[in-house]
Structure 1
Amino acid sequence: MSLPAHLGLRLLAVALLCCGGAMAWSLWEARASLRTEAEVSAARIAAQYARQPGLGSAGPAAPAATAPQPAPAILTLLPGICAEIRLAAEAARRHCGDWDGLDAAPGWLRSLLARDAGTPPALRDIVYRDRIIGTVAAWPDPAAAASGAWHQMRLAGGLAIALATTTALLGWLAAARLVAPAARIVRGLETLGADAVRRPRPRFAAVEFDRIAAACDGLAERLSRAEAARAGLMQRLVAVQEEEREALARDLHDAFGQCLAAVGARAASIEAAAPEDRADLRADAQGIEAVVATMRESLRGALARLELPDLAEIGLAAALQGLVADWQAHAGANPSLHLDVAGDLAGLPRDAASSLYRVAQELLTNALRHGRPSRVFLRLERAPEGRQVATLTVDDDGGGDAVRALAEPGRGLTGVRARVAALGGSLSLTGTGSGIRACAAIPTAG
């Protein structure tokens, strides 16, 4: 959920709480007001009867021939208030103030206010010439009290709900406008490093967002420098690896090869100079010669893996054909190796050509040594336009697990990934159901 939505919901919750408080306060105020109105009505009636105790009654204070007159005292009753008047020995008379009764209160409110039915009414003595001649009791009419309270609660509740809705909406709009720059900052972070051309940092009215944007811009600068340094180190690492391989190949060829040649010559000399009756000596010399031949073959294979062909002289396609032919001769008829070259490979940069050869060498080694394929397909294709990406694909049916190879890469696969990344390329491994498809893409333009 977005920040404006969070803020809007929280403002709405606070406003609804305030709405509930306003309705509770209006109910309490209505009850207190009714109680006050009952006391006021009782005091007014008592005051009127104290000034004219005979009006409205057939008691002794009224002339005998005078007909009973309407009691003017009941006109002082407020709407929704009932009063009981007791004068001397007369029967008690009850009067209730008029009320419209249009706002019928719900049952739960009537039940709540019914608890006040046992509250003592407001009592006032009627005092005439320092003598108490009667009493007045006034209390809120239950139906009128519930109706009045409901009217006030509706008014307060409607106003509070309107204010709550308006506050939540305005708060959401204000928050949405306030945090709008965050979306631009997020988009800038998402495209960090993806754009070849860096765009200028936007300016924001809010100081906080402007500081965040400045920090992101600084982060982009540091990442750019770190990426450039990493690419330089990776390229240097690849160059050092090639130098080490060439040095190791020279050492093996010059020192180890000469030693093997010397040992083979000594063994041949021993075999030739052995007496006729020393067949065992000749057999030992022949065994040494066989071991030396095996070691020479192993050395030849190691040198083939360490030494890089002269790609500028024979070309990358011919070097790959030789690599496939050597592996086919070493593996025999099973598995079968196939090479397909598409696109123009002329003008390949030296580092790209050497990296493609090394990647093909390593991927072939992984396919043949870590699986049991019946066939292995190699395809090298160079795009004719744009960055002229050269894509090398090695597809086998050896039953390997691409997920496991990605989760636990060996040193060979790690070296391939580093070599490809040093040139700004990418390496992907996917499962084909019967094996693994490895795809290395390297830009070769510029």
Structure 2
Amino acid sequence: MRLIIRLVLQLVAITLLSLTLTAGWVMVDAHRAIETEAARSAERVAHQLENLYWHAILWRGSMRRDNILPRPDWESLATLKLVSPGVCISYGPGNEEPRTLCSQLEGVGAAAPEWFSTAYQMIFGAHAPIIRPLTVRQPETGAISVRAEPDAAIRQAWRQISIIVSVAAAMAICICALAAAAIVHALAPTRAIVEGLRQLEQGNYDRRLDAVSKGEFGLIARAVNDLAARLAQTTAERAALTKRLFEVQEEERRALARDLHDEFGQCLTATLAFAGSIETAAAKIDDGVAEDARAIARVAKRMMTTLRDALARLRSQDLEELGFEASLVQLAASWNAKAERKAVVHLRLLGELSDLPQAMSTSLYRIAQECLTNAMRHGDSKNVYLRIERAASIDGLVALTVEDDGGGDASRLATASGHGILGIRERIAAFGGSLSISDAARGVRVVARLPLIPVGPAPLKGVALA
């Protein structure tokens, strides 16, 4: 729409510029026409007076120089007919005082507006008088002075400009209207194309554009449709690959947890047993050795505590054995049971969550796990609220909300490039869900929404900041 408005405005500007140039050209042409008419009037009147001169010589028989000049009655209707409207003739034979004969201004046109008169005088100024000798052989007969009346010149210029510019303006308006209609009709498909591109930007790859035309816009529409189809296919393949990668990741987590439990757990248990035996045996022999054994036991216990925490994060058997809801309760309880905890985790479960798909339950559990870890590590929270709700409708959503009261900057978290946020985004994108990170009352709120009905997954380009 903006393109159409911009083109129409450009068309109007070009039209106004053309009208301005036309008005200027008409003013210049009118100025030259007035000067031409004045010169022609001078020629005609001079020829008439010269005829009067020869008439006096031939028919009156007077050869005296002071009597062969034209008669004073040259200011007649016959002479006035030879003068163009708005032109004045001044003539004085011999040493007589020149007399002036002017044509009427009514024949030139109506009076021009004051602003036009001022502009015309500023641009062109007054017309220079035209001097023409009556006859070259008798210089004493005098010369004719012809000048255009300023008001007559302005009237004539205004009349020509009014006529020509009015016609040009009417034609320009018609041309602008027809051209604007043609532009609007020609660019009408751009609105549908832009809307289709916006739908693609929002992840709606099912939208297809109609064949708007057979020209360039038709080619663009077909290219957009092909792009949407390829993006839909690529996104579906990417989502399937992402889900498979998460499944492989879970399998690797379980395998790693078994290895840690079976190997490192047994080794640490044996280390504790050996340290106890050494301490018992050396208690009566060497106190230093006994103290070293106790130090080994303390290190082994710390390692076992760290190992249990790692196993708790790696193992997902609880989801299969205990179920999704019980696993969430155990997750919240494990955080609250830690001696070095910073905040209390408040868990709230709403709706039926027991029959969620296994892949979705795993992803929701991992998202909750990552959000709680971020709230505990990077914030100064006293309370963390974990809420998972399933909508009552069949085609509803499962919404996971984590909110803390530890301050924090939502925009900074939203643009973070860490693996935790990236993993959350990938898990949500695999199910075609959405993620929003916003400021809460006293902290940060993270909301993940996953659709229950399988839909075409949309690429999660970022997060929505409230």
2: CA distance, partners of 1:68 / 1:124: 16
Indicate whether 1:104 and 2:141 are aligned. Answer: no
Alignment of 1:265-284 (within 5 A): 265-274=273-282, 276-284=284-292
The number of residue pairs the alignment matches comes to 440
Q: Per the alignment, in what secondary structure is the counterpart of residue 135 of structure 2?
A: strand
Shift of 1:3: 2.7
Contact 1:8 1:169 in 2 (8 A): no
Identical pairs, percent: 38
Q: Structure 2: which 5+ runs fail to align?
A: 63-71, 455-466
User: 1:45/1:284 Cα in 2 relative to 1: closer, same or farther (>3 Å)?
Assistant: closer
TM (norm. structure 2) is 0.82
Indicate whether 1:230 and 2:238 are aligned. Answer: yes
Contact 1:425 1:443 in 2 (8 A): yes
What's the CA shift string for 1:280-334, capped at 9, x where partnerless?
4344333333332332232222212211134344221111111222222114786
1: CA distance, partners of 2:24 / 2:263: 100
Match 2:101 to one of 62, 74, 95? 95
Partner of 1:33 in structure 2? 33
User: 1:122/1:373 Cα in 2 relative to 1: closer, same or farther (>3 Å)?
Assistant: same
Indicate whether 1:82 and 2:88 are aligned. Answer: yes
2: CA distance, partners of 1:445 / 1:91: 111
Q: Which amino acid aligns with 2:223?
A: A
Shift of 1:77: 2.5
Q: Structure 1: which 5+ runs fail to align?
A: none
What's the CA shift string for 1:2-26, capped at 9, x where partnerless?
2333333333333333323323332
Partner of 1:391 in structure 2? 399
User: 1:271/1:80 Cα in 2 relative to 1: closer, same or farther (>3 Å)?
Assistant: closer
Match 2:135 to one of 105, 125, 130? 125
Q: Which amino acid aligns with 1:327?
A: W
Indicate whether 1:437 and 2:445 are aligned. Answer: yes
Moved more, 283-292 or 374-383: 283-292
Partner of 2:460 in structure 1? none
User: 1:374/1:194 Cα in 2 relative to 1: closer, same or farther (>3 Å)?
Assistant: closer
Partner of 1:403 in structure 2? 411
Match 2:364 to one of 353, 356, 360? 356
Alignment of 1:22-421 (within 5 A): 22-49=22-49, 51=51, 53=53, 71=76, 72-85=78-91, 92-100=98-106, 103-105=110-112, 106-110=117-121, 114-117=125-128, 119-125=129-135, 136-192=144-200, 198-205=206-213, 207-274=215-282, 276-331=284-339, 335-421=343-429
Moved more, 130-139 or 78-87: 130-139
Larger RCO (CA under 8 A, 6+ residues apart): 1
User: 1:289/1:143 Cα in 2 relative to 1: closer, same or farther (>3 Å)?
Assistant: closer
Shift of 1:188: 0.7
Moved more, 100-109 or 229-238: 100-109
2: CA distance, partners of 1:176 / 1:14: 17
Indicate whether 1:12 and 2:21 are aligned. Answer: no
2: CA distance, partners of 1:334 / 1:21: 79
Q: Per the alignment, in what secondary structure is the counterpart of residue 268 of structure 2?
A: helix
Q: Per the alignment, in what secondary structure is the counterpart of residue 116 of structure 1?
A: coil
TM (norm. structure 1) is 0.85
Shift of 1:150: 2.4
2: CA distance, partners of 1:288 / 1:68: 144
